[in-house]
Amino acid sequence: MNLREIHAHVEIRRQDGEDWLAVMQQAMVETGVGGRECREIMATFRRAALMLVNTD
């Protein structure tokens, strides 16, 4: 299974993705992940979150 298949049963709006990204960004801050590592992780998370959007 891929990420899209795993989440296919869940309606995901763009705002849901943005909300999840905000939570993940806060987790990075709280766990001390910063700099280039944080930017790379968040870029990957952003691609995944936006790929999963399946409804308006």
pLDDT band at 1 (very low <50, low <70, confident <90, very high): confident
Range(s) of the domain holding residue 43: 3-51
Domain membership flag for residue 56: no
Domain membership flag for residue 11: yes
pLDDT digits (tens, 9 = 90+) for 3-42: 999 999 999 999 999 999 999 999 999 999 999 999 999 9
Domain membership flag for residue 15: yes
Beta-carbon contacts of residue 48 (< 8 Å; ≥ 6 apart): 3
Count of structural domains, the chain? 1
Beta-carbon contacts of residue 51 (< 8 Å; ≥ 6 apart): 3, 4
Domain membership flag for residue 29: yes
Model pTM score? 0.89
